[in-house]
Structure 1
Amino acid sequence: MAKTNPGRFFEDYRVGQVIEHAVPRTVSGGERALYHALYPARHAIYSSDEFAKLCGLAESPMDDLIAFHTVFGKSVPDVSLNAVANLGYAEGRFHRPTWRGDTLRARSEVIGLKQNSSGKTGVVYVRTEGRNQRGELVLDYVRWVMVRKNDLAAPAPDTVVPELAAAVDPATLLVPEGLTFADYDTVLSGEPHRLRDYAVGEIIDHVDGVTIEEAEHMMATRLWQNTSKTHFDVTPRADGKRLIYGGHVMSMARALSFNGLANAQMIVAINGGSHANPCFAGDTVRAWSEVLDVAETGAPGVGALRLRLVATKDGSVGALKGADGKYLPGVLLDLDYWALMPQ
């Protein structure tokens, strides 16, 4: 009997299937140090225990995307080991912070299936949740991924495409317990701009760019224990290139957004997201944001800003899709999220 695992293929999934993902992961200051080495991440609440205490927290939590990537990585061997590409996200919610020393584990439920017209691949929709060592829900989200078929003769499943909310209702955003921006220090945070300084429809060019390197991408992908073959093995691709993990682009763009959004401190929801075009080593990632909505929360001095974060490889700003409704070739990421910001 074979003891190795080739991973699941499209025909191996069933709607309603629940998968408990292996290998829980304890996160620590090491993950934070590596995250801040890989990305120019500078948001104050994730950089300084003292700043976090000024905001009512016991210490600095782990960066929100550290928790996201860790949980995502747990799901890869069971969901996207044989993926062609991860396609998008919806209904993502951060329920509580992740702290140094927390152990994260993950499980996913298959909520949709759709075989592609070629008969060689299909799209798998899963809802993934990450919990800590106390069984508390840390985050959950829906993602859909294109997965190869192994047996091309396997019959196509009944098509089930889940109905997903266009955005997380701001009234349901979960503010971390104790968080307050009543005494927020904009000198320490790096910029004076508060919630009232942003207008719906405003476009912010984050100016800076970072050229993606193979070494950093490979380190990041291994850091999150992401084993998807498309990021490591070049042989299935005709161009002989390794596809850069979409989460690497996500974290790079979020870090670049500091310039102009330094006070968008904590991501609390992911409304939607698409990896619009592939990214490869040598591409230079730049980013711009559009303000989509503004909301209040019940926490002292804490507001919420809904942002569209767009990563590009051609330096364009403000342009997203062509007349045909398809993403422009220079667009890498289109991410719609809610972030907490001082009022």
Structure 2
Amino acid sequence: MAKSTSGNFFEDFRLGQEIAHAVPRTITTGDVALYSALYGMRFAPQSSDAFAQSLGLPRAPIDNLLLFHVIFGKTVPDVSLNAVANLGYAECRFLAPAWPGDSFTAKSEVIGLRENASGKTGIVYVRSTGINQDGVKVLEFVRWVMVNKRDPVNKAAETHVPQTSLSVQGADLVVPPTLDASAYDPILGGSPYFFDDYQVGEKIDHIDGMTIEEAEHQIATRLYQNTAKGHFDAVQQKASRFGRRIVYGGHIMSLARSLSFNGLANGVFVAAVNGGRHVNPAAAGDTVYCWSEVLEKHLFDGRRDIGALRIRTVATKDISCSEFPAPGSESEPVVLLDLDYWLLMPRREVQA
């Protein structure tokens, strides 16, 4: 009897099914260094223990998106090994700080199923949770993914499309409990602009571009222990509708986050992801650019040191955002990512 597995197909999922994902993962300072090397991350609290300690944190925390990718990677063998595409995210919240040396496990619950009209694929909706070594929830998110069917003749026994929130409410954002941004140094942070300097409706061209290299996107995906076949197997992908290896969508998220430093350098923590769509696939050789728009601002009760900006970031390929004819248009084949998320940013009024 074969001891290997070909992963779950659409027919294998059931509403309410709970899945405990294999392989606990400790994120080390080595992982953090590799993540920085892959994306060029420069946000000050994640780059320097001393800077983090000036904000009341014990040390430099794990970048929020690195944590997201690791938890996401845990879910892939059970949820999306046979995926055609990862379609979207919702209700993602970072619930507790994560530090190098912490170990994480993940679990998921199937909250929705819908067979596609072709009969060849279906949409699986899951709510996934990341948990640290102390049993504390550090992250939760909903995602939906298009998964191949084992046999198109098999008809779906259940259909349910869950209703997800359009955005995480500002009052539900979690601020690290010891964080005190009243002494935040904008010179070391890399930008003179604080929360108060941004206006709803303002758009920011992040200007710089970064070209995706084949080796780098595969190293990144392996770093997260993401085993999705489409990112690695060139022989299999030649026969797919894409014709070549596609880049893990989270790689585009981290590239865009890194590029956003030029314009949002003091947006030091991602507190939540309201929604996100991988509009078109990316491949090695594509050059990623991005721009952002301020959608909303939130002030926390009883806090004068920090606020939250709701940001929409759109990533494009091979065309700078200053030249892009219709930013954010889904009909544009050059759009890779449309991401709606909350950033925590120090306020100006309490700075020396």
| TM-score (ref. length: structure 1) | 0.97
How far apart, in 1, do the equivalents of 2:23 and 2:304 lie? 38
How far apart, in 2, do the equivalents of 1:42 and 1:2 lie? 47
Instruction: State the SS of the aligned residue for 2:206.
Output: strand
How far apart, in 1, do the equivalents of 2:132 and 2:331 lie? 37
Which residue does the alignment assign to 1:305?
309
Which residue does the alignment assign to 2:350?
none
Identity of aligned residues (%): 58
Give yes or no for the alignment of 1:109 onto 2:127.
Answer: no
Deviation at 1:238, TM superposition (A): 4.3
How far apart, in 2, do the equivalents of 1:34 and 1:211 lie? 18
Deviation at 1:240, TM superposition (A): 2.9
Deviates more, 1:57-66 or 1:297-306: 297-306
Which residue does the alignment assign to 2:280?
277
How far apart, in 2, do the equivalents of 1:300 and 1:216 lie? 41
Which residue does the alignment assign to 2:205?
205
How far apart, in 2, do the equivalents of 1:152 and 1:28 lie? 43
How far apart, in 2, do the equivalents of 1:45 and 1:157 lie? 49
Check the 8 A contact 1:180/1:299 in 2, yes or no: no
Check the 8 A contact 2:119/2:155 in 1, yes or no: no
Does the C-alpha gap of structure 1 residues 31 and 299 become closer, same or farther in structure 2, counting only changes over 3 Å? farther
**Count of aligned pairs:** 340
Instruction: State the SS of the aligned residue for 1:46.
Output: helix
How far apart, in 1, do the equivalents of 2:331 and 2:292 lie? 16
Q: For 2:321, give the aligned amino acid.
A: S
Check the 8 A contact 1:181/1:300 in 2, yes or no: no
Check the 8 A contact 2:44/2:268 in 1, yes or no: yes
Deviations 1:148-207 (A, max 9, x none): 011111112332110000000001111001101111100110100001110001100000
Does the C-alpha gap of structure 1 residues 178 and 7 become closer, same or farther in structure 2, counting only changes over 3 Å? same
Which residue does the alignment assign to 1:58?
58
Check the 8 A contact 1:102/1:132 in 2, yes or no: yes
Does the C-alpha gap of structure 1 residues 239 and 336 become closer, same or farther in structure 2, counting only changes over 3 Å? closer
Indicate the RMSD between aligned Cα atoms, in angstroms: 1.2
Instruction: State the SS of the aligned residue for 1:208.
Output: coil
Which residue does the alignment assign to 1:233?
233
Check the 8 A contact 2:313/2:339 in 1, yes or no: yes
Check the 8 A contact 2:314/2:328 in 1, yes or no: no
Check the 8 A contact 1:114/1:157 in 2, yes or no: no
Which residue does the alignment assign to 1:315?
320
How far apart, in 2, do the equivalents of 1:69 and 1:273 lie? 14
Deviates more, 1:240-249 or 1:294-303: 294-303
Which residue does the alignment assign to 1:44?
44
Q: Which runs of 4+ in 1 moved over 4 A?
A: none
Matches within 5 A, 1:121-132: 121-132=121-132
Q: For 1:195, give the aligned amino acid.
A: F
Within the candidate set 327, 336, 341, 1:337 is matched to 341
Unaligned runs of 5+ in 1: none
